[in-house]
Structure 1
Amino acid sequence: MAKAVRFHQVGGPEVLSWETVEVGTPGPGEVRIAHEAVGLNFADTYFRTGLYPAPLPAGMGVEGAGVVQEVGPGVTSVAEGDRVTYTGSPLGAYSTERVMPAEHLIKLPDAVSFETAAAMTMRGLTSAYLLRRIWPLRSGDTVLLHAAAGGVGLIVTQWAKLLGLNVIGSVSTDEKAEVARNHGCDEVIVYRREDIATRVRELTDGAGVPVVFDSIGATTFESSLKSVARRGLLVCFGTASGPIPPIDAMQLAVNGSVFVTRPALADYIADPAERAVLAEELFSMVAAGHITIDINQRYDLADAVAAHRDLESGRSIGSSVFTL
């Protein structure tokens, strides 16, 4: 038996419940993993609220790190005792132990701790595809990054600086602005008192930026679109403030023949070989200290309700994890 966070109906944080569950034995292609740390991601709230539909009742969470306890028939990619991390379906990471498909597991180097892995596997791989797969960014380019003091934002900023990029970050408070600057942002816009698009145009001599990375969604879409340079790209990879509004194709022309994409991490790590390449690049930079992972919030797994409330309130800075 194990303990897990589950939800039986969609809604606010209060629908999460701490339950005793039966783990079971891994079947073909599956493993049983004992978690050492579990990731807390804003995407978790999308499942809880029903924005991302899931059959109910359901487990919660898609990211964890731990040790393989048992392997099922046909599993050759990992062995009992391996240190592993993962991100992706099926739901159920908010648990002390679980059975899950082995195909999602990534072997974890000894130089990367379980907590660090749980704090960065989703965020780090997201940062990897944003910077390495979406657009042919070149040294000297300037990008606009929303939520620059968030978990993804801090990794993207550090990685972007390693690639020679200039980063304009947007944040909600002066405290977060300081954090963003300390991690490499060249300019920071506090959007509660500055107009983002106006400031971006000022900082780029009216040209705008070739790429905008927007994880906020509804409240930032318009300013993001107005910040993109001619024939540039708006990357809408999150909806923290709500879904992006319907796109009028003519507005893309009016704003400079710009492109818009709404990518999902799953499509950039579906190929195990590509996932391995991105993970290796990420892990090597973290192990070498070129990218630091700030874990600023730690929770007991039983305190998932409080963790979700903190996450949705905007109080969180950097990454959050559940410790076991």
Structure 2
Amino acid sequence: MVKAIRAHKTGGPDVLQFEDITLPQPGPGEILLRNRAIGLNFIDTYFRSGLYPAPQLPFVLGNESAGDVLAVGPNVTEFKPGDRVAVVSALGAYAEERIVPAASVVALPQAISYEAAASMMLKGLTAEYLLHRTYKVKPGDTILVHAAAGATGLILCQWGKALGATVIGTAGSKEKVALARAHGADQVINYREEDFVARVKEITGGRLCDVVYDGVGKDTFMKSLDTLKPLGLMVSFGNASGAVEAFNLGILSTKGSLYVTRPTLNTHTAKRETMVAMAKNLFEAVTSGKVKVPVNATFPLKDAADAHRLLESRGTTGSTVLIP
């Protein structure tokens, strides 16, 4: 028996229960992992609330964690017991131990802590595909990063700056503005005090942005279209304020033949070799110092509901991890 956080129904943070579960032995192609740190992500709240349907009830939340291999199933040759690893996989991370497909596991360099790894696998790999695959950021580009003081936002700001882009961020408080600036953003707009569209036009001298990275969703999507150059790309990768509503595609033509995409990490990591290459790129960015992953809060696993409340209140900056 191991301890885990499960939801027997969807709803608010109160549906999260700290209870015993039984795990089977790892099957063919599987690994039994002892979690040392577990990442907290907005997508966890989507599954908990029912916005994203869980495959069954009850279910264990969470997608990313880091720890040690306890046992391997048949046909697993790349890993052995005792290996330090990190993983982004299907639901099941909010537990002391979990079974994961070996195909979703990557070796964790000694230079990266369990806490940092758990806090950056989903967010860092998301930043990797956003900056290198969805739109390949190059020197001279201007990028707009919403929620720039959030965990993914801080990585996007640092890495975008390292790639030679001018980085404009948005944030909702003076403290968050300062944090985003400290992590590479050239300009940060407090969206509670200023119209971010007008400020982007002012900052860029009317030239606008090549790409917008928007994990906020409903509250920012339509206005963000007005910050893009003709042929610019609107990347909607999250719904922190709610899902983006249907809109008239003709708007994209009137605003300059814009492109819109809604990418997911799962699509980008579907091929093992691509996921390993993405993780290698991310780990190199971190170990080289180009990207720092601040873990600004930790909670005991049993207090996951409190962590969810803080996250949904926009009370977090950087990454938050759960410790079994």
Superposition TM-score, scaled by structure 2 size: 0.98
1:74 alignment partner in structure 2: 75
Instruction: Please list every run of 5 or more consecutive structure 2 residues that lacks an aligned counterpart in the other structure.
Output: none
1:62 matches 2:40? no
| Distance (whole Å) between structure 2 residues aligned to residue 290 and residue 256 of structure 1 | 34
What letter corresponds to residue 131 of structure 1 in structure 2?
L
In the alignment, what sits opposite 1:151?
A: 151
Trace 1:222-233 onto structure 2 (pairs within 5 A).
222-233=222-233
Please give the alpha-carbon distance, in whole angstroms, between the structure 1 residues aligned to 2:233 and 2:288. Answer: 31
Give the whole-Å Cα distance in 1 for the aligned partners of 2:104 and 2:85. Answer: 10
Please tell me whether the aligned partners of residues 216 and 240 of structure 2 are also in contact (alpha carbons under 8 angstroms): yes
Q: Which residue of 2 aligns with 1:98?
A: 98
The equivalent of 2:202 in structure 1 is 202
Secondary structure of the corresponding residue to residue 206 of structure 1? coil
Q: Which moved more, 1:62-71 or 1:198-207?
A: 198-207
Partner of 1:172: 172
**Contact 2:9–2:57 under 8 Å retained in 1:** yes
- Cα displacement string for residues 171-199 of structure 1 (whole angstroms, at most 9, x for unaligned residues): 01111000001111111100011111111
Q: Structure 1 CA distance, aligned partners of 2:197 and 2:248?
A: 19
Instruction: Please state if 1:139 is matched with 2:144.
Output: no
Distance 1:285 1:217 in 2: 27
Distance in 2 (CA, whole Å) between partners of 1:192 and 1:207 is 24
Q: In 1, distance between residues paired with 2:282 and 2:163?
A: 13
Deviation, structure 1 residue 22: 0.8
SS in 1 for 2:79: coil
2:267 corresponds in structure 1 to 267
Q: Which amino acid aligns with 2:220?
A: T
> Could you list the per-position Cα deviations for residues 10-45 of structure 1 after superposition, in whole angstroms to 9, with x for gaps in the alignment?
000000000011122111111111010000001100
- Say whether 1:38 aligns with 2:38: yes
Task: Give me the whole-angstrom Cα distance separating, in 2, the residues matched to 1:12 and 1:20.
Answer: 21
After superposition, give the CA deviation of every residue in 1:285-306 in whole Å (9 maximum; x if it has no partner).
2122221110111000000110
Q: Does 1:117 align with 2:112?
A: no
Computed over aligned residues only, the root mean square deviation of the Cα atoms, in angstroms, reads 0.9
Q: Secondary structure at the match of 2:134?
A: coil
Q: Distance in 1 between matches of 2:102 and 2:7?
A: 24
Match of 1:241 in 2: 241
Per the alignment, do residues 84 and 169 of structure 1 end up closer, same or farther by CA in structure 2, a change over 3 Å counting? same
CA contact (8 A) 2:89 2:100 kept: no
Q: Aligned residue for 1:218?
A: 218
Alpha-carbon distance, 1:99 to partner: 1.7
Distance 2:197 2:222 in 1: 9
Structure 1 stretch 2-11 or stretch 101-110: which is displaced more? 101-110
- Alignment correspondent of 2:252: 252
Q: Quick one: structure 1 residues 269 and 288, their matched pair in 2 at CA, closer, same or farther if it must change by over 3 Å?
A: same
Q: Normalising to structure 1: TM-score of the pair?
A: 0.98
Which secondary structure does the structure 2 equivalent of 1:205 belong to?
Answer: coil
**Structure 1: 5+ residue stretches without partners:** none
The letter of the residue matching 1:220 is T
On the 8 A contact 2:137/2:160 being kept in 1, the answer is no
Point out the more displaced range, 37-46 or 197-206: 197-206
Letter in 1 for 2:59: A
Q: How far apart, CA to CA, are the structure 1 residues paired with 2:155 and 2:265?
A: 15
Q: Is the 8 A contact 2:157 2:185 kept in 1?
A: yes
- 1:236-266 CA distances to partner (integer Å, 9 max, x unpaired)? 0000000011121100011111000000011
One-letter amino acid matched to 1:79:
K
Between the aligned partners of 2:255 and 2:115, the Cα distance in structure 1 is 43
Q: Which residue in 2 is equivalent to 1:293?
A: 293
Preserved CA contact (<8 Å) 2:145 2:214: yes
Could you tell me how far 1:136 is from its partner in structure 2? 3.4
Counterparts in 2 of 1:34 and 1:136: CA distance versus 1, 3 Å: closer
- Deviation of the 1:323 alpha carbon: 1.6
Q: Secondary structure at the match of 2:257?
A: coil
> How far apart are residue 219 of structure 1 and its match?
0.4
How far residue 319 of structure 1 moved from its aligned partner, in angstroms, is 0.4
Letter in 1 for 2:132: R
2:115 aligned with 1:83: no
More displaced 10-residue stretch of structure 1: 135-144 or 263-272:
135-144
How many residue pairs were aligned?
323
1:13 matched residue in structure 2: 13
What secondary structure sits across from 2:43 in the alignment? helix
Structure 1 counterpart of 2:193: 193
In structure 1, C-alpha distance between the alignment counterparts of 2:144 and 2:99, rounded to whole Å? 40
The percentage of aligned residue pairs carrying the same residue is: 47
Is this contact kept in 1: 2:64–2:88, CA < 8 A? yes
CA distance in 1, matches of 2:73, 2:296: 36
- Of 287-296 and 145-154, more deviation after overlay is shown by 287-296
Counterparts of 2:112 and 2:304 in 1: how far apart (Å)? 25
Question: C-alpha distance in 2, partners of 1:59/1:138?
Answer: 40
Give the letter aligned to residue 42 of structure 1: F
